[in-house]
Structure 1
């Protein structure tokens, strides 16, 4: 879980966010139990978290380099994520002087928007939100300036990090103080949100394409021939020879596109043409492409695979 604190006022805005992400692997019910103990404050530090995860047989991966808050021109953005069964739900706050929008996204689609002019917004679990809100309330002074608010946020972040391993000791921190009224703020926020969500959609589409391509590459790699007969020599031209592929072999390029179907011809190179004659069988033996009769090695620029049945 995260802790993100945002102040939005007439003179500017302040945002701070921790950098910890924790991934859980294992039985779903045991993960839920560990998360409940972590976010309730029962687990006090990294050592207890590691020990408890081991006792529950839940594997965890902790990183402290997440970018949960970022700057987009005169706007600061904070984001927390929630995993659902089929999608990632994101809750973002876009803030600037005199205005903020809280945007909930399902995947890369906007699900809900809440707007406001001035406020203090805290994203976190029940424990961290309560401590943060109570501390802000206890230390708030009339006419507090942006610098003092920033220092207060830093102290709160550091103190809460000592109480729970759900957030990191490190954080990202931004202050914006551009002079603008609420109408100008909402216009800027609207433009920023549209642009930012489009970038998210583009990134998600690229990620999806990359994953599909990776899955395809893994599947295609299983078809690569590492042993067996490839075809027969059907033509010789100095050190270039033509091979007619067997009825169960096809040739692909590095992008897994078919360049020669079963029964078609491909060109290969040989260092010593005297070691080959028409009709010779071409095989892969011990992962070496060669002429079966003479064991002369061949060179080719295609990937030889089993053809689909």
Structure 2
């Protein structure tokens, strides 16, 4: 569901990318059938796509807000992504005057790298590639000026979007005017690819850690005490109230690390300690941590959870 067209010349490069993203929701078989028809060019308009989806029981989410091209250290970068159940595949193109590299990745691991010099590269499904290449041939002339190439890129994006709903009518276009030795250009591309993949790996690791943390937060949240006995007051010293935790309650910090195990002592605070005496029962009632006898509120700097023991 992408179209990225890249021109690599001797004095600069141009990259254009559409902005469409389509989510298919329904049975895997019906999704595959619909996608095959779309990518084979059998569905010509967005209205036809929506109608076909309804007939096959597929829900669609169509948006035109995805940025597929960017700049990194004077190098233009385009990316198309395909997601499977257990992995994400990426195709990236890195372009600068006189040089480019096409990189395929699974996750953040490089599968293949293909490099070259002056060229026009089209990323898309088979149908959109054919449409784009046909349009380029129709308008291309020998010894064209850079501004003419830019105009052809715009025409390619426009004309392809008129023939398939897999490509948005809106698109991003980036231009870099620069000229450099081809050996230097290839080295710039090489270092940019390595840095970008390294950044992707770091991002994926951070995302993985956040997902693990989020999962743990969800799991631990079910253990938080929202009603019941917490423990018994063993000492009152100023505003500090010491309690011995109930046999089923533990205290954890905000990273879910242990502060006190069941039957261990913890310190809470009270604004009115005169309403608390040794032997009072600390409870949570109506989501309020308090002394059961006087309803005096208590404060703590940790999370009270049910113990697994």
Report the TM-score when normalising by structure 2. 0.95
- The equivalent of 1:178 in structure 2 is 178
Match of 1:3 in 2: 3
Q: Shift of the alpha carbon at 1:119? A: 1.4
Deviation at 1:139? 1.1
1:255 deviates by: 2.0
Separation in structure 2 between the aligned mates of residue 243 and residue 99 of structure 1, nearest angstrom: 70
1:196-251 per-position Cα deviation (integer Å, ceiling 9, x unaligned): 11111111111111111111111111110111111100111133211111122111
Deviates more, 1:24-33 or 1:135-144: 24-33
CA RMSD of aligned residues (A): 1.5
Q: In the aligned structure 2, how far is the partner of 1:28 from the partner of 1:13?
A: 40
**SS of 2:163 mapped into structure 1:** coil
Matches within 5 A, 1:61-76: 61-76=61-76
Contact 1:229 1:283 in 2 (8 A): yes
Moved more, 207-216 or 160-169: 160-169
What is the CA-CA distance between 1:195 and the residue it aligns to?
0.8
Does the aligned pair in 2 maintain the 1:13–1:97 contact within 8 Å?
yes
Change in CA separation of 1:266 and 1:51 when aligned onto 2, cut-off 3 Å? farther
Measure the CA separation in 2 of the matches of 1:80 and 1:202: 19
2:44 equivalent to 1:33: no
Q: Report the equivalent of 1:261.
A: 261
Give the C-alpha shift of residue 253 in structure 1: 1.9
Greater Cα offset, 51-60 or 143-152: 51-60
Tell me the distance in 2 between the aligned counterparts of 1:244 and 1:279: 10
Q: Which ranges in structure 2 are unaligned for 5 or more consecutive residues?
A: none
Moved more, 24-33 or 97-106: 24-33
Specify the alignment match of 2:246 in structure 1.
Answer: 246
CA gap of 1:50–1:266, structure 2 versus 1, over 3 A, is farther
| Structure 1 equivalent of residue 204 of structure 2 | 204
Render the CA deviation track for 1:60-114: whole Å, top value 9, x for unaligned: 2222221211112331111111223421111111111111111111111111111
Taking structure 1 as the reference length, what is the TM-score of the superposition?
Answer: 0.95
Give the secondary structure class of the aligned counterpart of 1:256: coil
Give the equivalent residue in structure 2 for 1:135. Answer: 135
2:270 — aligned with what?
270
* Deviation (angstroms), 1:275: 2.3
1:275-290 matches, cutoff 5 A: 275-290=275-290
Task: Name 2:193's counterpart in structure 1.
Answer: 193
* Within-5 A mapping of 1:147-166: 147-166=147-166
Alpha-carbon distance, 1:257 to partner: 1.9
| Aligned twin of 1:110 | 110
Shift of 1:51: 3.2
* Cα distance in 2 for residues equivalent to 1:304 and 1:105: 45
| Equivalent-residue separation in structure 2 for 1:134 and 1:66 (angstroms) | 25
**Structure 1: gaps (5+ residues):** none
1:230 counterpart = 2:234: no
Do structure 1's residue 83 and structure 2's residue 48 form an aligned pair? no
**Correspondence for 1:95:** 95
Q: Is the 8 A contact 1:146 1:175 kept in 2?
A: no
What CA distance in whole angstroms lies between the structure 1 residues aligned with 2:205 and 2:241? 44
Deviates more, 1:260-269 or 1:99-108: 260-269
Tell which deviates more after alignment, 280-289 or 221-230: 280-289
Tell me, yes or no, if the aligned pair for 1:26 and 1:59 is still in contact at 8 Å. Answer: yes
Partners of 1:26 and 1:286 lie apart in 2 by 42
